[in-house]
Amino acid sequence: MRRASLLALSGIFLGLPLRAAAAEPPPLPADATTPPASETPPAAPATGDAPPTLPSGDPGAVAPPAGAEGTAGGEVSGAVSGDLSGSTNTTTNEAPAPGPEVEVPAPAATPPTPSTDKQPGMVQGRREPAVNSLRGGLGLYHTTLADVGGRHTVRVRLHTDFFRKEGFIYNSDEHGADQQGRVRGTVNIGYSPFKWGELFLAVHSQASRNARAQPGRQDQVNQFALGDLDFGIKGAHRFVKGGAIGLGGQLGIGLLSGTSRLLTDKVNFNIDFLFTLDVRYLTKKQVPVRFTTNIGWILDNSSKLIDFEKFTDPTSREVSRFALGVAPSRVRMRYGLDFPVRLGKEGKFGLDPIVELAWDVATAEMPVFRQEGATPSPLPRSSLWGTVGLRANVIAGLHLDAAVDIGMVSPNFEYGPPVAPWQVILGLGWSIDPNPVIKEVPAPVTNEPPPAPAVVEGRVVGQVLDSTGAPVAGAKVRFPGAASNAILTDDQGNFTSYRFPEGQVAIQVELANKATKDATADIKAGEDTQITITMDVANTPPVGILDGAFTDESGAPVLVTLSVSGNGVDEPFTSTEGGLIRLELPAGDYFAIARAPGFEDKSLRFTVTPGEQFTTVKESLRRATPVETPLVSGKGKKLRLKRAIKYTSANGVDDKSAPLIEQLAAFLNAHPEYEEIEIGVHTDDRGNPKQRSSERADAVRSALLAKGVSPERVTANGYGDNSPVAVNLTAAGRAKNNRTVIKVTRYKGEPTAPAKPAKAGKKAAEPAAPPP
């Protein structure tokens, strides 16, 4: 195993490439393939770049890197736990996508004022371009910025990382060294729905290959961890001079796939505190330096995906752990320094050199991976690596970046997987910003002097009342000779005029009924002239007269009920026996339905014109097809129901009696000679008899009206227990007392006498003479 020397803090911060330090296992016997009966002298520990040897049956067995998980036999699908130590959480700057351009003319003959592009972090009036991190929200590579980017910005990022190393986990004098390679890929999507909030989602997979000639190996050469899912939410606030300091936090959940299916098997949880210092906002020349740090903790359950104790070969166990990205719960610390520079005209292009330091400290132990007698790591619980990279905003929202991770320190085996010695990162990202682009263009210069401002001095503020003193809404107020448009008064009759030059202005008010009145007002400079205009008439709408006649198909008159709606009228009117009706209605359009027992409903539309000229309506009604009513019959003044009406516990009509009610309504509509009936309900003496009987009677009446029976033909009365026909001491007696009686109260009634035209809301009588 490679040994690492400790570095000075400055060297660590700059991410200089170092040799990784890791725990080394105890030395192996000279010949472990055939264990001797007696103790043999131990082999010398591995030095240089050779991986640590393991106490196994192979004299060249070496300790695998932590962070891998697997199963014996077959391809293994598991959890990708993240960055070099098994967890990745990174962000990047956001780049605006092409959006609509808004041209803002620059003032002519005056020096240009600073545009928003000259403000730190702004490009053409929008937030500067940015993309997501490797597996988190807006940020660098492994470091998350305390920023969420422009509101409603959508970011999509694709990246891959890979490395290859000979003798990384296994290095045997007899069987040679292993060939370890790993490729990882992630799709990351971020969205900023709020000014201070961001949502992100990442799907990642990895493939690992470890080729070695070790006898009796229990792991597969190729192992895969596919379909792990991370999603989270971040909140951040930037302050001090518009954004010099950013503070925030983020919560994340990782859904880990099992080893044999692409379904969630275990769940990780992480929380991080975020801090960013942007020097551009603090310096006059906007020095492009930005420092970011993250401190957080992750609860990592990847070690629970499979049972590593079933591996009897330590090398196979370590290789599988590294291949599947298994790592313990840990504290995560990230330190990032980047130098965002905007280039080109209006800063459309950008370069961002990035240096990062990542330090994970395990908070949980993985005893199954302990190697007794191994040489301890200089930092037993720590995984440490640096990153050097460059990100370029090449055009609009498109970003390309490349970076290298450099491994520094690996932990003891029981505290995590080994850190890869190096790793290349390649990324592609796109940011879509729906906010418009602001582009400053020069205004055309003309030699013509600006037009002289119009002389507008004062206004008229008034109210219109009718002759009764009531406010008039919707009155037209005109100013003849001063303005061509009319102003409508509001619900309180108030109006406010245009501005007029000082002097007298004429006013004309017109009501909806065409009544008018003239007035004048004196306009004073810089003042509102108050005026109240009282009309000489009441604000009554214009009216007209509807004259209607209704007959059957043979021309015989039919008494109808005409339900009229429109212009504030919504009520029924009854014609005379001769089928004539005359109504005084507000002028306007109407919809009406003519109903008559034994006839089909007739829908009609008409328009009432104002004045004394009648609006004539003549309609012929078609007789309704007779309906069979086997449950209802009538003879003379008597109606007979062949079944009793049943009620619910809430005193409504039971569904079982619906056919009976429907036939009763059909019978009444087909037999107008039964002009009026009474629904009488009787009950026993339990509870509140009067209330119970009244509610039942009203329920039957409502059901008949719903079937088209005229309200004037049905009355309802509840008699309670006043008229028993049996004693209430037995169930049979109470059943007889609970009854409904249908009584005909008017049969072939007298025709109504002629009457003068009626106003809306009143029934009209037949006129003495036909309409002119």
CATH number, span 9-109+123-438: 2.40.160.40
Q: What's the DSSP call for residue 306?
A: S
The domain defined by 459-534 folds into Immunoglobulin-like (2.60.40)
C-alpha–C-alpha distance, residues 483 and 340, integer Å:
60
| Percentage above 70 pLDDT, the chain | 79
Using pLDDT thresholds of 50, 70 and 90, give the confidence band for residue 125: confident
- Alpha helices per DSSP H over 66-148: none
Both structure tokens of 771 = 């309409």
Q: What is the dihedral of CA 87, 92, 97, 101, to 10 degrees?
A: 150
| Predicted pLDDT at 658 | 93
Using pLDDT thresholds of 50, 70 and 90, give the confidence band for residue 617: very high
pLDDT of 520 above 70? yes
591 CB neighbour count, 10 Å cutoff: 13
Domains 459-534 and 543-620 fall in the same CATH topology: yes
CB 526 within 8 A of CB 504: no
Q: Which of 43-57, 91-105, 310-324, 613-627 has the lowest mean pLDDT?
A: 43-57
| Predicted pLDDT at 455 | 56
Q: Looking at residues 312-326, what average pLDDT do you find?
A: 90
pLDDT of 447 above 80? no
The string over 159-175, giving b where at least 16 C-beta atoms fall within 10 Å of a residue's C-beta and e elsewhere, is bebbbbbebbbbbbeeb
Residue-range domain boundaries for the chain:
9-109+123-438, 459-534, 543-620, 632-747
| Predicted pLDDT at 92 | 40
The domain defined by 543-620 folds into Immunoglobulin-like (2.60.40)
Residue whose token pair is 């107020």:
477
Q: What's the DSSP call for residue 647?
A: B
Both structure tokens of 337 = 């320094």
DSSP line for 20-38: PB--BPPPPBS--SS--SS
Using pLDDT thresholds of 50, 70 and 90, give the confidence band for residue 439: low
What confidence tens digit (pLDDT) does each residue in 731-742 have?
A: 999 999 999 999
- In order of 69, 182, 261, 372, 543, the CA distances from 65 in angstroms are 10, 12, 25, 16, 96
pLDDT of 87 above 60? no
Using pLDDT thresholds of 50, 70 and 90, give the confidence band for residue 441: low
Helical (H) or strand (E) element with 694:
helix 689-706
Using pLDDT thresholds of 50, 70 and 90, give the confidence band for residue 452: low
C-alpha–C-alpha distance, residues 234 and 249, integer Å:
6
CB 601 within 8 A of CB 624: no
- In order of 365, 540, 607, 656, 712, the CA distances from 568 in angstroms are 81, 13, 14, 40, 23
The string over 635-654, giving b where at least 16 C-beta atoms fall within 10 Å of a residue's C-beta and e elsewhere, is eeeebebeeebebeeebebe
Q: Looking at residues 310-326, what average pLDDT do you find?
A: 90
- Alpha helices per DSSP H over 259-375: 314-324
Q: CA torsion sign, 399 to 402 to 408 to 412?
A: positive
Instruction: Compute the 3-state secondary structure of the chain and give helix, strand, coil in percent, each to the nearest 5.
Output: 10, 45, 45
pLDDT of 126 above 60? yes
Q: How remote is the C-alpha of 268 from its chain's centroid?
A: 26
- Nearest CA to 96 among 115, 122, 118, 120? 122
- In order of 40, 291, 483, 511, 524, the CA distances from 519 in angstroms are 125, 74, 15, 14, 17
| Predicted pLDDT at 511 | 86
Q: Is residue 526 exposed (0-12), middle (13-18) or buried (19+ Cβ within 10 Å)?
A: exposed
508 CB neighbour count, 10 Å cutoff: 15
Helix, strand, or coil (residue 235):
strand
Phi, psi of 214 (to 5 degrees): -70, 130
C-alpha–C-alpha distance, residues 324 and 225, integer Å:
6
Q: Which of 347-351, 382-386, 387-391, 441-445 has the lowest mean pLDDT?
A: 441-445
Both structure tokens of 219 = 């792991």
CB 43 within 8 A of CB 53: yes
Q: What pTM value is reported for the model?
A: 0.50
Q: Looking at residues 5-27, what average pLDDT do you find?
A: 39
- Nearest CA to 713 among 740, 682, 681, 679? 679
Q: How remote is the C-alpha of 8 from its chain's centroid?
A: 51
Q: What's the DSSP call for residue 599?
A: B
C-alpha–C-alpha distance, residues 171 and 165, integer Å:
12
| Predicted pLDDT at 752 | 36
pLDDT of 588 above 60? yes
| Predicted pLDDT at 656 | 93
CB 186 within 8 A of CB 88: yes
Q: Which of 277-291, 338-352, 740-754 has the lowest mean pLDDT?
A: 740-754
Q: Looking at residues 477-489, what average pLDDT do you find?
A: 87
Q: Looking at residues 249-257, what average pLDDT do you find?
A: 93
- In order of 148, 291, 417, the CA distances from 94 in angstroms are 9, 17, 33
The string over 391-407, giving b where at least 16 C-beta atoms fall within 10 Å of a residue's C-beta and e elsewhere, is bebeebbbbebebbbbb
Domain spanning 632-747: which superfamily?
Answer: OmpA-like domain (3.30.1330.60)
Both structure tokens of 522 = 């004196």
Q: Which of 242-246, 558-562, 572-576, 759-763 has the lowest mean pLDDT?
A: 759-763
pLDDT of 235 above 60? yes
Vertex 148: Cα angle to 144 and 149 (nearest 5): 115
Based on C-alpha coordinates, what's the Rg of the chain?
46
| Predicted pLDDT at 348 | 84
Q: Which of 33-37, 441-445, 540-544 has the lowest mean pLDDT?
A: 33-37
Q: Looking at residues 753-757, what average pLDDT do you find?
A: 38
Using pLDDT thresholds of 50, 70 and 90, give the confidence band for residue 258: low
C-alpha–C-alpha distance, residues 589 and 585, integer Å:
10
Helical (H) or strand (E) element with 550:
strand 543-551
C-alpha–C-alpha distance, residues 543 and 552, integer Å:
30
| Predicted pLDDT at 537 | 78
Q: What's the DSSP call for residue 375?
A: B
Quote the mean pLDDT of the chain.
81
Angle at which helix 658-670 crosses helix 689-706, to 10 degrees, equals 60
Using pLDDT thresholds of 50, 70 and 90, give the confidence band for residue 672: confident
pLDDT of 8 above 60? no
CB 294 within 8 A of CB 274: yes
* Phi/psi-derived region of residue 292, left when phi > 0, alpha when psi is between -120 and 50, beta in every other case: beta
